[in-house]
Structure 1
Amino acid sequence: MGRPTAPPPSLKPEEWRLLACTLPDGYDEAAPSGDDLVELVVEGRYAAALTQAVSLGVLPPAEGCASLREWSTAARSHIKQLYGDMSKNGLLLLTSGVAALMSFCQASLTGPASSESPALTATLPSLVDWDPPANNEEPWSGDRDPWVLREAQVDGEDLVCGRIDALDMLVLASMLLWEPLADAEPPAALPSWAWWAARVLGVHQRALGARSMTLRGGLVRLTDAVLTQFHPDADAAPDTRLAAVAASSARLEAALCDFAYGRDETARAHLDAAGAALGFKFRLTGRLAKKTMYQQDAATVLVVETEAVDASAAGRGRTIADLGAGEGVAAAAAAADLTRATHGLTGETEVFQLPHLLSTAGAVLGNAGLGAAEQAVLLGWSVNVKLGQAEEDMNLAQMGAFVEAVMAQPRSEFMVRAMAELQMCRKEAARSRTMERGLLEMEALVMRVRQSSGVSPRVRALGALSASAPLLPMLMKEWALVQMRFGMVGQAMEVFERQEMWEQLCACYVMLEKKHAAEAIVRKRLETAPEDPRMLTVLGDLTQDPACWEKAWEASGGRYVRAQRRLAERAHRLGDWEASAAHWELALKTNALHPEGWFSLGHCHIKLKSYDRAIEAFTRCGQLAPEHGEAFNNLAALLLERNRPKEAYTALSEAGRLLERNWQVQENLARAAIRSEHWLPAANALCKVTALTHGERCEVELLSSLVRHLRDLNHQIAADAAAGDTSPDAVGRARLKTHLAAAVGTVVRAVVQSSAASPDVWACAAVYWEAVGELKSAKECHLKRVRGLQGRAWKKETGAFEAFAEASIAMCEGQLAAAAADRAVAKRELSAARMHLQSVLKQAEGVFGEHAMFGEMQAVLERVLAAEEELQTA
């Protein structure tokens, strides 16, 4: 290990020590602070640290308080008073808040369950004397208190499950670290405060089932302060390894938060900066490898290859054996005492977990040069691939490359390694040849994280907040869902019931056609807590009784947004658009970070013909969910109706990128592009329409607009040439004409060979071939257009006659042009034009002799006769 590193001048040694105990590779780098409370936190003795903090007066006594809610009011006032004198109390408040946060992380993120209860009932012994809620059959503790649950449900959003251990510690951490900053700036004397407060909000978001607008707003403000302090210049290399790890972790945690809120582009920028802070560069490349035991010929696999890495990263972290991992499936299963449900399954398979490279020169696989911080960056990129790729095969291949690079390292940190193993389990459980091994490995991982497994809380904390780790309840849920894929529904239901995931449990009962059993469980829970909004909503989901959802909304004091969403969805199904819109507006007023809510609200306003409000709703949906192609498509359609083609084109460009296989979206994109005069994108979009429909679909109006513009470009280019214009505009027109002609030609060729080749299509094709100088092809298209319009209808109906006359005139004009261009074929072309016009005029004279188109055909015939006469006299 390296020597202890002095903190940056702006940070106190105690702050640096607290940060270092949560950074990858960080614990052994920071020198001891000399503060007893700080050292208790660093050593992972969070309950002892909180007890000592209480004795130092960071929290008020509970005597005289009738409930936890009443005590919290006194506690907030007391904390605010302490915050007023930061020079004296700042470090005490910060350390106490860190202890509370890490207590929650130990209980619900990193494990293992602590024998020393970190709950408020242990920290404040007088709380034990309070009476538990009536009719409660379970042992009561602070993390089960209704006030704690209400405080944790920010913006009315539900928790990921009913049972999250040490939830009161998360609320306490928020009271100590975040709430003082709600209306104040982070203290300048303690620069790391903002980072810890941001971590509280980030972990709190993981505990919620949906995005919270309040938490998002706080994270945006705090992240800016953190990055300014810990990563002021992405181009300046930090002077020590620990400073580099801190800068990288700040960026990495910001990226994970942005991923959680759907800001993928910003998150990717943070990931780039996180690697740059470490001097870490890599690339994805192909290598020859064997993936199975009996594979004869090597195949190309995707691997991560390092281009630059900090030499001081080598040898850091703990060995895989020290972390309790790497024993193989059988040993891990035996150590974890797996359930009897997996008896008979085997992890033995001919597929290697990591590909065996034929040459490892320069590749990360088998390279021991990556520290835990670099590994965490690679895991961050695997999250990016998982969220950003649409194609499943490419998703698994790219994600697997990052994960395999981490799994190949002989040293790591506990949570970094655990997240790499989780990603590997997901990959293997998704493939038939390795799914049994994936299930066994996931089960072993769950047990190792939940139980002590010989790894102390201090070691588990290293890198835990920089890894994309789900809370333990969500890890348990994922494990249960994998069990269900194997038909182990009973075992999955046990997990759901233990974690109080009532929705999933009831879904299992309904799947087993035991809806009455699901309803009985919910009603039994309601006997204990009749005003529980969550259980009332679940009962409403089972019975489809809107009264349950209305009661849940009232019981929560108008905060439980799931109840309003259910009411809105029911009204939407019934076609009651006005009621649905009203319910959605109530829900979105409580928490606006719900893209599907805005999308549904926009649909309601379309039905109610409130188009401006629909535009606003779809705009908000697109802002919150940039991957929501349908929202951009609907928004663009409304903008086109409002005659705002430029904005519609912008929206449809996003929709076309996201819904590339949807020909309707591509056709709308072409229409908006033409109306906003983006000609080449319009032609490319129309190419995609013909490719997706195999030429069977082509909007003639769009194709006609493109070929007319191509013809106009020809005239402009000819005028530029005549005037000797070589300006950038003239050069740009010539370049546009080349690309546009190629794209439109692709459309024309596809359409004329399909059943969609109508006379109007042949007319467009003729104009196109004339524009590119292919007069012979144009003449054939004119002829096919005329033949397509021939019949008895044009002799009687005015519209049919006008179309036939226009086609005849166009064909004869083409023949006149061909005769003028080539005297060798002039006689034949003029003769054909003359005979055609004379025949048409003779048949139309009785009905349409006075029609204007009749006169135009006579004029063309006169020109043809004059050309023939000129040809004979020449």
Structure 2
Amino acid sequence: MAATTTFLREAELRLLRCTLPSPTSQPAPPSPPPAHPLGPVAASALAAVEAGDYAAALASAVPHLLHGSTLASADFATASPAQVYADLAAAAESFLQGDGGATAGEGFQCRCAVVLSAAVAALLAFTQQNVTGPSGKFPPFPFQIPSLDEGWFSDPGCKWDAWASDHLASLGSHVHGKFSLLQFIIFAELLFTSIKSLDFSNCWSVSWWLCRISMCQQNILDEQSSSLYDQVQVYKNKMLNHFGELEKVSSYWGSLLCDEEGSSFVSAAFLEAGIAEYKYGRVDASRLHLDSAQEACGIHLSLTGILGFRTIHQVDAKSQMVLVAKTTKPADDEGQSAELTGAQSDGVALKTVRSSVPSESDEFCDILRTPRLAQNGNDSISESTPSASTKISLTAIQQAAVLAQCLHVSRRSRSDEMSGWEMAPYIESIDSQDESYFVVRSLCNVLRIRWESTRSRTKQRALLMMENLVEDIAKEFPVVSQRAKMVFGVHMPTIPALRKEYGELLISCGLLGEALNVFKDLELWDNLIYCYRLSGKVADAVSLINARLLVTPNDPRLWCSLGDATNNDEHYKKALEVSNNRSARALRSLARSAYNRNDFYSSKILWESALALNSLFPDGWFAYGTAAWKDKDLEKAVDAFSRAVQIDPENGEAWNNIACLHMIRGKSQAAVQAFKEAVKYKRNSWEVWENYSKVALDTCNIQLTLEAVKTILNLSSNKRFNADLLDKVMTTLEEQATHLNNTQEAESISNTSYDAHEETRRSNQLLDIIGDILQQIVRSGASNAEIWGLYARWHKSKGNLMACSEALLKQVRSLQGSGLWHEQMKFTKYAQASLQLCKVYIEISSTTGSRRELLSAEMHLKSSLKQATDFSGTEEYKALNDCLVELKDLIGAA
């Protein structure tokens, strides 16, 4: 490896190490910089980033980027921020190319290291202010130019921060909350992109940093951005292509790597890829990346049950779900201490931040934070100690892998009380670690707070934990460089997002006043309006938003919030105006308003525009499909619901709508496939099963139809059944039986084919199933005349004529009632049932030789004909009379 290339690659390695676990062995001291004027500058900037002094790193590197550019003399009072940053990009590219435009040699290596250091410093400064804390002293601009006087640094209404927020919101989403140093993340992306534009293949880490920047941008927006998703996929794939295999990592850095450091890099790359997929709801892709990360860091996770105690006063041990972590690369005490300690006795700091729970919190809660496990199956509480099989020291990257798996479990599980208990073993596993990095421990506490806040017995402890966590982030200890470790390897919420959760927890505890202060400080107007509505003070919310609009009249978020508070579409239109038609939220609000006015065409068009800006809004495609359906645009409705299930494959309602649309369009087979997916996620919806049964019958799938009918009965407590559908099924089965009988009569028994036997067996199975369904309805007392008629036909098909006659008699009695002898339709049904009853009586008599059934039939017909004189001219009356004549002949002959 050439010396100059070694310097640049060492710079890449040192910068990545700032955000990854420290090597277990002491790294070699930094190599002296190349003998170039920019060599000391690069070395100084790198050292400042490693020390966590990001402002010093920027102050050291940025002036050299802008040296000789037109920005040094620009008038920032009148300059456009967009133009200035475009000039910054040009200046960075010009600086990288040097005077001769060369992309090789010592000069280029030093220039590239300077740009990399500045970009990483800007990104980590942003994360320090908005993710890890503590808040530092940074200028509002990531670049220092003499023309920026002190007035710019103290101007609270500076157009530059507003421009940065609008620039990030240009992707169709808005910045969610109040963030600091937004220009820094734009500046960092600009510098990394300038290196990438040179297509310099010897700077692999740029794709990794760009992936991190894209995820940072996504994390500060109020909703998922389809544009950012595309960026993340491109950068993530490049990152994994470079750092997804240990051989590639080892060959890239060679002897610069410490022991086991290569596998740590591979694991970190897969972890960050898995978190990115988790953020966008791609559960399967996330699982694959997390599995690769666990394999790379040498850990295998499994859950098991061990007897233990969950509460302080528990007497008998109960089975507790615990995590068993088997490692091929265990963290021995000496190695772990070397990995997790650093300057200024940070090992002590790590132990200090082990938990955000004050000791007095346990006075209010008798639930243990981690279960005490019984040894050797002994259920005595005096014997309970941590189990050696579950208490194992994990490396930092292994701890991050455990937390990532915990997040995956939360996303793949249904949202109910059990999902929290499924996450608990992962949380408790990290809680039991003696040492962890700041962000790892903080995320573990966040997950515990989210879980315990859902339970009444631990809610107060969760509130105390949240208060302490917010305070810990603002403290000066641990130092900045230690807080940056693993900051991208765990899905740590931003400080505004964390404080928002704190506000929501305060609301759930009834502390509206404190929540109001939190949301005001974060400028979360929607949450503020919600609080005011809870307290019946919507007018105060409107007044506050109007006051803010006097300060920032071009903020589309404020106009949208004002529209929400007042239900006035004009405010949404104003939001569109000030955002240059780039506010997806305003378009969505107008689309909903049009839908509520039954203006489905306008709603459909507005949803199209909103989704063109941001196609990843979770409920957008579903709402678009509903509007298109109401507008009778079935083709677009199917496409919209199909996109909805692509984003969220577990959206059972969308699958149901797809299936119903296929039913309407006569595509029964496609409808069956869609219903198969719908019932996976809406198993308790009898409406979905009812539609499923209809299309299953349309496709001649009798067994599936009957299974659906059976499920409907169970879900509705035997109150929902479709007699017409059951009639069609029974008719089909009767036709099949007739066909099979004719086939067997045409062939000798010995020559009957195997297929005929199989058909007979399947037909009998289906008859048994429909019989079970009919019996279930009859026993529940919910049967009517149609069900008794079907029940009689089933008994007849099984050869049980006596039961058939009893069912027919109950059908006849069900049809008797007011209006029978005066309404043609009722009489027709009654006459048909009576005729079937008498024919069965005749058949029983011919079989048994008994006259009792004939006499019963004769008496029934005489009574019916006597009362049906109004219908004496109908075919039904004539059929009953003919049957009576036949009966008299049979009785006379008996």
Tell me the equivalent position of 2:124: 102
Q: Does 1:166 align with 2:178?
A: no
Q: Does 1:637 align with 2:660?
A: yes
Tell me the equivalent position of 2:640: 617
Equivalent position SS for 1:202:
helix
**How big is each residue's C-alpha offset from its partner over 1:45-98, in whole Å with a ceiling of 9 and x where there is no partner?**
333333333244279544325333221111233445548966536555444433
TM-score, scaled to structure 2: 0.82
Residues 156 and 835 from structure 1, CA distance in 2 versus in 1: closer, same or farther, beyond 3 angstroms? same
TM-score, scaled to structure 1: 0.84
Residues 536 and 715 from structure 1, CA distance in 2 versus in 1: closer, same or farther, beyond 3 angstroms? same
Q: Report if the CA contact (8 A) 2:21-2:485 is conserved.
A: yes
Residues 437 and 131 from structure 1, CA distance in 2 versus in 1: closer, same or farther, beyond 3 angstroms? same
Amino acid at match of 2:833: A
**How big is each residue's C-alpha offset from its partner over 1:669-704, in whole Å with a ceiling of 9 and x where there is no partner?**
222333234444433332332122211111223333
Tell me the equivalent position of 2:473: 449
Q: Does 1:19 align with 2:13?
A: no
User: 2: distance between equivalents of 1:780 and 1:51?
Assistant: 97
**How big is each residue's C-alpha offset from its partner over 1:108-162, in whole Å with a ceiling of 9 and x where there is no partner?**
11222224x1x562532336339759xxx954679x622211111142311111x
Tell me the equivalent position of 1:63: 73
Amino acid at match of 2:437: E
Tell me the equivalent position of 1:382: 406
Tell me the equivalent position of 2:283: 264
**How big is each residue's C-alpha offset from its partner over 1:528-564, in whole Å with a ceiling of 9 and x where there is no partner?**
2222222222233333333222222111111122222
Equivalent position SS for 1:210:
coil
- Give the C-alpha shift of residue 777 in structure 1: 4.7
- Give the C-alpha shift of residue 742 in structure 1: 6.5
Q: Does 1:590 align with 2:613?
A: yes
Equivalent position SS for 1:312:
coil
Equivalent position SS for 1:123:
coil
* Equivalent runs, 1:46-57 vs 2, <5 Å: 46-57=54-65
Q: Report if the CA contact (8 A) 1:838-1:861 is conserved.
A: no
Tell me the equivalent position of 1:146: 162
Tell me the equivalent position of 1:550: 573
User: 2: distance between equivalents of 1:455 and 1:475?
Assistant: 19
Equivalent position SS for 2:489:
coil
Residues 209 and 801 from structure 1, CA distance in 2 versus in 1: closer, same or farther, beyond 3 angstroms? same
Amino acid at match of 2:714: A
User: 2: distance between equivalents of 1:174 and 1:815?
Assistant: 89
User: 1: distance between equivalents of 2:278 and 2:613?
Assistant: 22
Residues 451 and 747 from structure 1, CA distance in 2 versus in 1: closer, same or farther, beyond 3 angstroms? farther
- Give the C-alpha shift of residue 591 in structure 1: 1.7
Residues 709 and 482 from structure 1, CA distance in 2 versus in 1: closer, same or farther, beyond 3 angstroms? same
Amino acid at match of 2:53: R
Amino acid at match of 2:327: V
Tell me the equivalent position of 1:340: none
Q: Report if the CA contact (8 A) 1:553-1:563 is conserved.
A: yes
Q: Report if the CA contact (8 A) 1:834-1:861 is conserved.
A: no
Which one of 420, 445, 455 corresponds to residue 444 of structure 2? 420
**How big is each residue's C-alpha offset from its partner over 1:479-518, in whole Å with a ceiling of 9 and x where there is no partner?**
1221223333222222222222222223323433333433
User: 2: distance between equivalents of 1:508 and 1:856?
Assistant: 74
Tell me the equivalent position of 2:329: 311
- Give the C-alpha shift of residue 164 in structure 1: 0.6
Q: Report if the CA contact (8 A) 1:751-1:757 is conserved.
A: yes
Which one of 702, 707, 712 corresponds to residue 725 of structure 2? 702
Residues 836 and 209 from structure 1, CA distance in 2 versus in 1: closer, same or farther, beyond 3 angstroms? farther
Residues 762 and 50 from structure 1, CA distance in 2 versus in 1: closer, same or farther, beyond 3 angstroms? farther
User: 2: distance between equivalents of 1:75 and 1:207?
Assistant: 24
Q: Report if the CA contact (8 A) 1:540-1:546 is conserved.
A: yes
User: 2: distance between equivalents of 1:363 and 1:700?
Assistant: 60
Q: Does 1:751 align with 2:770?
A: no
Q: Does 1:216 align with 2:229?
A: yes
Tell me the equivalent position of 1:276: 295
Q: Report if the CA contact (8 A) 2:211-2:232 is conserved.
A: yes
Residue range with higher mean Cα deviation, 199-208 or 780-789: 780-789
Residue range with higher mean Cα deviation, 477-486 or 81-90: 81-90
Equivalent position SS for 1:284:
strand
Q: Report if the CA contact (8 A) 2:246-2:262 is conserved.
A: no
Amino acid at match of 1:247: V
Tell me the equivalent position of 1:112: 134
User: 1: distance between equivalents of 2:22 and 2:708?
Assistant: 50
Q: Report if the CA contact (8 A) 2:679-2:689 is conserved.
A: yes
Q: Does 1:472 align with 2:511?
A: no
Residues 585 and 138 from structure 1, CA distance in 2 versus in 1: closer, same or farther, beyond 3 angstroms? same
Tell me the equivalent position of 2:243: 230
Q: Does 1:691 align with 2:714?
A: yes
User: 2: distance between equivalents of 1:807 and 1:170?
Assistant: 81
- Give the C-alpha shift of residue 400 in structure 1: 1.4
* Equivalent runs, 1:762-777 vs 2, <5 Å: 762-769=788-795, 777=803
User: 2: distance between equivalents of 1:180 and 1:840?
Assistant: 100
Tell me the equivalent position of 1:291: 310
User: 2: distance between equivalents of 1:328 and 1:129?
Assistant: 42
Residues 190 and 642 from structure 1, CA distance in 2 versus in 1: closer, same or farther, beyond 3 angstroms? same
Q: Report if the CA contact (8 A) 2:21-2:397 is conserved.
A: yes
Tell me the equivalent position of 1:157: 173
**How big is each residue's C-alpha offset from its partner over 1:13-61, in whole Å with a ceiling of 9 and x where there is no partner?**
4444433432356586866664634454344333333333324427954
User: 1: distance between equivalents of 2:398 and 2:704?
Assistant: 41
Equivalent position SS for 1:753:
helix
Which one of 117, 125, 140 corresponds to residue 145 of structure 2? 125
Which one of 523, 535, 553 corresponds to residue 558 of structure 2? 535
User: 2: distance between equivalents of 1:40 and 1:473?
Assistant: 27
Tell me the equivalent position of 1:367: 391
Q: Report if the CA contact (8 A) 2:311-2:368 is conserved.
A: yes
Q: Report if the CA contact (8 A) 1:711-1:771 is conserved.
A: yes
Equivalent position SS for 2:330:
helix
Residues 694 and 457 from structure 1, CA distance in 2 versus in 1: closer, same or farther, beyond 3 angstroms? same
**How big is each residue's C-alpha offset from its partner over 1:378-401, in whole Å with a ceiling of 9 and x where there is no partner?**
322322333343352212211212
CA RMSD of superposed structures (Å): 4.1
Q: Does 1:76 align with 2:89?
A: yes
- Give the C-alpha shift of residue 769 in structure 1: 4.8
- Give the C-alpha shift of residue 468 in structure 1: 1.9
Amino acid at match of 2:504: L
Q: Does 1:354 align with 2:370?
A: yes
Amino acid at match of 1:21: C
Residue range with higher mean Cα deviation, 558-567 or 852-861: 852-861
**How big is each residue's C-alpha offset from its partner over 1:310-358, in whole Å with a ceiling of 9 and x where there is no partner?**
2334443536862532367336x9xxxxxxxxxxx87542221111111
Q: Report if the CA contact (8 A) 2:861-2:884 is conserved.
A: no
Q: Does 1:248 align with 2:267?
A: yes
Residues 850 and 586 from structure 1, CA distance in 2 versus in 1: closer, same or farther, beyond 3 angstroms? closer
Residues 730 and 802 from structure 1, CA distance in 2 versus in 1: closer, same or farther, beyond 3 angstroms? same
Q: Report if the CA contact (8 A) 1:25-1:373 is conserved.
A: no
Tell me the equivalent position of 2:214: 201
* Equivalent runs, 1:838-857 vs 2, <5 Å: 839=862, 847=871, 851=875
Residues 499 and 648 from structure 1, CA distance in 2 versus in 1: closer, same or farther, beyond 3 angstroms? same
Q: Does 1:176 align with 2:164?
A: no
Equivalent residues, number: 833
Structure 2 segments unaligned to the other structure (5+ residues): 1-5, 34-42, 252-256, 341-346, 378-385
Residue range with higher mean Cα deviation, 468-477 or 769-778: 769-778
How much identity, in percent, do the aligned residues show? 26
Residue range with higher mean Cα deviation, 310-319 or 530-539: 310-319
Equivalent position SS for 2:352:
coil
